[in-house]
């Protein structure tokens, strides 16, 4: 039986070509006896990344180690609730989420157990690890200024020294933003609060709002489409979304802007940790360590067009030239504590 047939029938198949032994269970479609199929040697992973990203990664792990991985994918809130009350799904051993806000919320609601690993500590910078050892980053995305090459001049672009520069009068009715509810924007506002205080951060956000060329967009993809179409001259988006947009669209008038020397870039992270109720915590910890290894970290980061959290991993060729930016040195997990402050600030500044 092929891997594709296995996925359709929700079965566990014997060795197939290349020795891939993974079978994916998808949310509520997992049958009532799924827990029985997650035997003692299997690692059960809950992931907010879909099968397209997660399956090749865990197939590679199975091929390398012989350890089976059972994958359950879905929306963050649904999976988080299932960690405590799995219902028809097998109990999660490892929980993976796409951004710092979700990882922080999961940690606050006791999804994770501490996992102390000297291996992980050597591979991943402290800035990208939870200080209480609850979770670790696998990849990061830069919150990047992006511009229309035809609607901006070299002098204007050189004058963009930081995020606050986009609130200057020269960008009046030329700026586009995605919603403050987009995780990257909420995390960026949290960073501004952390670095500059509530008052200065709010002045920056109010400056952005005053410069908007149109209503905010639902997501970064819509924002990038508007910049390409000339609806606005400049905006802010995740580097991964910019890379994906440039790969999919035949446009040459959209490009990222990296701040000059001294301008630090905000980064958001994807990562995961061993769950509090894990039935196979040792297997989950081993998988967590593997995900931070140079080859696996490059594979994960490349699949989402992110920058590897392991500094010894190679970035995808399409974004390798962007790797020289200066990341903000703040401990990324600590920004989770400012997410609620960021949401209140956006509301006061009337940034929807």
What are the domain boundaries of the chain? 3-139+269-315, 141-267+327-348
Helix (H), strand (E), coil (C) string for 34-97: HHHHCCCCCEEEEECCCHHHHHHHHHHHHHHHCCCEEEEECCHHHHHHHHHCCCCCCCCCEEEE
pLDDT digit string, tens, across residues 271-326: 999 999 999 999 999 999 999 999 999 999 999 999 999 999 999 999 999 999 99
- H or E element: which one contains 107? helix 100-108
Superfamily of domain 141-267+327-348: Periplasmic binding protein-like II (3.40.190.10)
Q: Residue 56 — very low, low, confident or very high, per pLDDT cuts 50/70/90?
A: very high
pLDDT digit string, tens, across residues 156-196: 999 999 999 999 999 999 999 999 999 999 999 999 999 99
Whether 141-267+327-348 and 3-139+269-315 are alike in CATH topology: the answer is yes
Q: Residue 38 — very low, low, confident or very high, per pLDDT cuts 50/70/90?
A: low
pLDDT digit string, tens, across residues 145-166: 999 999 999 999 999 999 999 9
Helix (H, G, I), strand (E, B) or coil at 186: helix
pLDDT of residue 40: 67
Contact call for residues 205 and 347 (beta carbons, < 8 A): no
Listed ranges 14-18, 39-43, 231-235; the one with the highest mean pLDDT:
231-235
Q: Please give the model's pTM, rounded to 2 decimal places.
A: 0.86
Look at the chain and count its residues.
352
pLDDT of residue 141: 97
Query: Can you tell me the mean pLDDT for 129-138?
Result: 97
Q: Residue 342 — very low, low, confident or very high, per pLDDT cuts 50/70/90?
A: very high
pLDDT digit string, tens, across residues 73-117: 999 999 999 999 988 889 999 999 999 999 999 999 999 999 999
Nearest to 243 by CA among 188, 321, 177: 321
Question: Of the CATH numbers 2.60.320.10, 3.50.30.30, 3.40.190.10, 3.30.1330.10, which one belongs to the domain with range 3-139+269-315?
Answer: 3.40.190.10
Locate 57 and state its tokens. 């990664």
């Amino acid at each position: 039986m092929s891997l594709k047939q296995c996925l359709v029938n929700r079965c566990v198949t014997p060795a197939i070509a290349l020795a891939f032994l993974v079978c994916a269970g998808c949310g509520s479609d997992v049958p009532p006896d799924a827990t029985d199929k997650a035997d003692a040697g299997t690692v059960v992973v809950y992931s907010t990344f879909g099968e397209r990203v997660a399956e090749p990664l865990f197939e590679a792990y199975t091929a390398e180690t012989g350890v089976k991985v059972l994958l359950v994918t879905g929306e963050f809130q649904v999976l988080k609730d299932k960690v405590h009350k799995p219902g028809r799904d097998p109990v999660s051993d490892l929980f993976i989420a796409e951004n710092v806000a979700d990882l922080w919320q999961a940690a606050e609601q006791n999804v994770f157990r501490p996992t102390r690993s000297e291996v992980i500590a050597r591979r991943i910078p402290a800035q990208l690890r939870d200080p209480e050892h609850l979770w670790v980053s696998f990849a990061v995305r830069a919150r990047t200024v992006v511009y229309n090459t035809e609607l901006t001049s070299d002098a204007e672009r050189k004058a963009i020294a930081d995020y606050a520069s986009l609130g200057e009068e020269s960008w009046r009715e030329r700026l586009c933003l995605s919603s403050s509810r987009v995780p990257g924007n909420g995390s960026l506002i949290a960073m501004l609060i952390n670095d500059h205080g509530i008052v200065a951060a709010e002045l920056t956000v109010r400056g952005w709002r005053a410069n908007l060329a149109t209503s905010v967009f639902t997501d970064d993809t819509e924002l990038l489409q508007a910049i390409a179409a000339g609806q606005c001259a400049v905006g802010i988006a995740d580097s991964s979304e910019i890379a994906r947009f440039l790969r999919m669209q035949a446009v040459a008038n959209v490009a990222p802007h990296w701040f000059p020397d001294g301008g630090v870039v905000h980064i958001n992270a994807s990562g995961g940790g061993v769950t509090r109720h894990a039935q196979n915590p040792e297997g989950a910890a081993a998988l967590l360590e593997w995900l931070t290894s140079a080859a696996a970290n490059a594979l994960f980061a490349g699949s989402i067009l992110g920058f590897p959290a392991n500094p010894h991993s190679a970035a995808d060729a399409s974004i390798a030239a962007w790797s020289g930016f200066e990341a903000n040195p703040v401990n990324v997990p600590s920004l989770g504590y400012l997410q609620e402050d960021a949401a209140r600030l956006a509301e006061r500044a009337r940034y929807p």
